[in-house]
């Protein structure tokens, strides 16, 4: 039986689903049941005032399947748009595409328009206030959380490096914890993140980053000690565990990334063959938002029987260059920085410590 995982954002025991349960149910999670109505034919560019009256006046009970309790994504977004128009945050000429960015709470490449049940959608929105965001969470049962976007849509969320101020979005209502199914040649994981402070990466059938790991695996370069130096939510390092690495060191300079990494060790413990609970050495909530220069901190460790025998995992909060001062040696150092961020000082710091440094 899987351990209960407490959501770091809302405190619920049912928010973060263990990865093995997600992977068992994902193929039917967003599917219509035999009793669901056919897909509605709603243009996402049609002005609100031109939508059919039942769609304009939809409430939380309308157009919901009486059997499975789900509604089509477009109906949910129409419900949201109706509230925005009612509250004066969108004009009657606004369309479904003007609502914002809808994100299903467990992302994977859904091959059909998703059907949604309770708390299965997080909205990233422009021109939204806290009061209306709370209305959306309270009145539209599918909406789990509402996030206000800051800056331009393409601006990455998080920190470029330890010398930059973080760029984050604002969680206005509900909970913003969501996961993405990550597929590889070695298996699948479910990687969770607090989406208001983590860069949005849509789940795809093929990932260039995972492709790099698969190439390294076929070159037999994932068998030893692997450092995931800018780990974010821990994706690459935890996939390396699936691939048979005997030791993985996960590191990030941003406190939310470290917290998400620990969450993902818990959520994927059974899939990775780890003990259910990592050992905490430093309270993550007491870490500085950005790692102090020159002081790498060991935050957590985890152990278990991985794909190729015993595996050890360590989680650090540090600038990647500083981390090289406390790690004697590794076989592979992965540097996954944001686009246009220079990685030269990271490569320089690790060239004597790592058998190979790979910049992704």
- The domains found in the chain, sorted by start residue, are 32-101+127-140 (no CATH), 201-359 (3.40.50.150)
Distance CA 21, CA 136 (A): 28
Q: Which two tokens stand for residue 229?
A: 């130096």
Q: Which residues contact 318 (CB under 8 A, 6 or more apart)?
A: 251, 253, 291, 295, 296, 297, 326
Residue position matching structure tokens 């393409």: 154
DSSP 292-304: PTT--EEEEEEEE
Other CB atoms within 10 Å distance of the CB of residue 228: 29
The angle subtended at Cα 194 by Cα 74 and Cα 357, nearest 5°, is 115
CB-based burial label for 132 (10 Å; 0-12, 13-18, 19+):
buried
Distance CA 317, CA 320 (A): 9
Residue position matching structure tokens 């780890």: 274
- Phi first, then psi, for residue 338 (nearest 5°) are -65, 155
122 three-state secondary structure = strand
Q: What is the pLDDT along the chain (360 residues), one digit of tens a residue?
A: 567 899 999 999 999 999 999 999 999 999 999 999 999 989 999 999 999 999 999 999 999 999 999 999 999 999 999 999 999 999 999 999 999 999 999 999 999 999 999 999 999 999 999 999 999 999 999 999 999 999 887 788 988 777 778 889 999 999 999 999 999 999 999 999 999 999 888 766 667 899 999 999 999 999 999 999 999 999 999 999 999 999 999 999 999 999 999 999 999 999 999 999 999 999 999 999 999 999 999 999 999 987 678 999 999 999 999 999 999 999 999 999 888 788 999 999 999 999 999 998
CB-based burial label for 165 (10 Å; 0-12, 13-18, 19+):
exposed
Distance CA 29, CA 106 (A): 9
What is the pTM assigned to this prediction? Answer: 0.95
For residue 337, the 8-state DSSP code is P
The angle subtended at Cα 132 by Cα 129 and Cα 135, nearest 5°, is 150
């Amino acid at each position: 039986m899987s351990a209960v995982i407490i959501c770091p954002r809302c405190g619920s025991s049912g928010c973060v689903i263990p990865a093995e349960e997600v992977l068992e149910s994902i193929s039917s999670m967003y599917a219509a049941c035999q009793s669901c109505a056919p897909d509605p034919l709603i243009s996402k560019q049609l002005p609100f005032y031109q939508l059919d009256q039942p769609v304009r006046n939809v409430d939380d009970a309308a157009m919901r399947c009486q059997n499975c309790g789900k509604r089509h994504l477009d109906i949910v977004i129409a419900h949201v748009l109706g509230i925005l128009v009612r509250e004066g945050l969108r004009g009657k000429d606004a369309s479904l595409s003007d609502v914002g960015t809808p994100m299903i709470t467990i992302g994977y490449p859904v091959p059909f328009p998703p059907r949604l049940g309770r708390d299965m959608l997080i909205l990233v929105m422009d021109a939204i206030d806290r009061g209306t965001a709370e209305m959306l969470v309270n009145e539209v049962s599918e909406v789990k959380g509402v996030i206000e976007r800051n800056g331009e849509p393409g601006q990455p969320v998080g920190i470029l490096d330890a010398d930059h101020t973080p760029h984050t979005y604002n969680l206005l209502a509900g909970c913003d914890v969501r996961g993405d199914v990550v597929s590889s040649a070695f298996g699948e994981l479910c990687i969770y993140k607090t989406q208001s402070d983590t860069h949005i990466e849509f789940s795809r059938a093929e990932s260039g980053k995972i492709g790099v790991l698969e190439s390294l695996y076929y070159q037999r370069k994932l068998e030893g000690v692997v450092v995931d130096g800018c780990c974010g939510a821990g994706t690459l390092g935890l996939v390396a565990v699936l691939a048979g690495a005997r030791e993985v060191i996960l590191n990030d300079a941003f406190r939310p990334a470290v917290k998400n990494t620990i969450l993902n060790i818990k959520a994927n413990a059974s899939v990775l063959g780890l003990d259910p609970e990592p050992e905490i050495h430093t309270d993550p909530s007491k870490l500085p938002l950005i790692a102090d220069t020159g002081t790498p901190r060991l935050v957590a460790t985890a152990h278990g029987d991985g794909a190729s025998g015993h595996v050890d995992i360590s989680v650090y909060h540090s600038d990647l260059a500083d981390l090289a001062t406390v790690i004697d040696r590794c076989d592979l150092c992965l540097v996954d920085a944001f686009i246009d961020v220079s990685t030269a000082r990271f490569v320089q710091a690790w060239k004597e410590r790592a058998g190979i440094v790979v910049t992704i």
